[in-house]
Amino acid sequence: MVSMADKDFRRFSEFIHTECGIKLPTSKKTMVEARLQKRLRLLGMATFREYNDYIFSPSGLSEELSHLIDAITTNTTEFFRESKHFDIMRQVVLPHWVAMRGLVHPLRLWSAGCSSGEEPYTLAMVLSEYAEKSPGFRFSITATDISSQVLEKARRAVYPEDRVADMTYDLKRKYLLRSKDRLKKLVRIVPDLRERVTFSRLNFMEEFSFNDPMDIIFCRNVMIYFDRPTQETLLNKFCRQLRKDGHLFIGHSESLTGMDLPLRQVSPTVYRRT
């Protein structure tokens, strides 16, 4: 395996932090080396110095950045991950939203850092189930990620059967299709649910805005890869996109303690925009 000089790693990690917000301490050097071996082989490069020079060239930046991001980002997710959040959605957030906004406008939800789609499709199931019991309730889901590779997986919406093993029978029957070739042991999200989610690429480090404010933002287990100042900057961006009285959900390993944000805690890792 080709190794990376410390000088090259520092230059590389500073670039990734600036471009993506992801912090890469020295302890991640071996991981980065391993993940980028395939890129070196595909580009016919013998050293990381050569790869670094390519990345910092105008053509290299435009052609290689998306591949680089796909290689170094971690995309760990699952259906109904941190399930307590979905209970809070059903029991607290959605009734509050209907009481405040009525059923005239569709609820707008953003899954920020959606990875391969399990989170937004889970949210689509939860909201669809709620809509069945609340005639007139409508919703749309925007799902974004920095990695083009995982977004393609999300749009295909094909998953191994073992990824949905813990899902209830009723949800599987309503929202999943099994592969015609049973030996493949694959399932796919039904078309009606896929149409509820719009996927697009978004880099949190760039300026972004939506045509209309969001009612709910899910950004879970993404900020753990950022340093504290980057987290606070990003959360202020989220607040600008979140409707007053809207809700923000973060991961259970994440914290907003000590940050100056227009948010009030509703329950652990769930906040309301003030």
Is 223 within 8 Å of 254 (Cβ atoms)? yes
Same domain membership, residue 119 and residue 202:
yes
Q: What whole-number distance in Å separates Cα of residue 61 and Cα of residue 150?
A: 20
Q: Is 39 a catalytic residue?
A: no
What is the pLDDT, as a whole number, of residue 74? Answer: 67
pLDDT in tens, 214-266: 999 999 988 888 888 999 999 999 999 999 999 999 998 899 988 999 999 99
Same domain membership, residue 23 and residue 139:
no
Last residue of one domain, picked from the residues 72, 95, 122: 72
Q: Is 145 a catalytic residue?
A: yes
Can you give the CATH number for the domain in which 200 is found? 3.40.50.150
With a cut of 70, list the residues of the chain below it in pLDDT.
74-76
HSE of 188, CA atoms in CB hemisphere, 13 A: 16
| Within a domain: 169 | no
What is the pLDDT, as a whole number, of residue 23? Answer: 84
What's the domain count of the chain?
Answer: 2
Can you give the CATH number for the domain in which 62 is found? 1.10.155.10
Of 8, 70, 108, 145, which residue is the catalytic one?
145
**What's the domain range around 143?**
84-155+192-273
Based on its alpha-carbon atoms, the radius of gyration of the chain, rounded to whole angstroms, reads 20
HSE of 82, CA atoms in CB hemisphere, 13 A: 20
Q: What whole-number distance in Å separates Cα of residue 164 and Cα of residue 166?
A: 6
| Within a domain: 128 | yes
What is the pLDDT, as a whole number, of residue 75? Answer: 64
Same domain membership, residue 147 and residue 264:
yes
Of 35, 90, 163, 243, which residue is the catalytic one?
35
In Å, the largest CA–CA distance within the chain is 62
**Separation in Å, CA 72 to CA 13, 34, 140, 211:** 11, 10, 30, 31
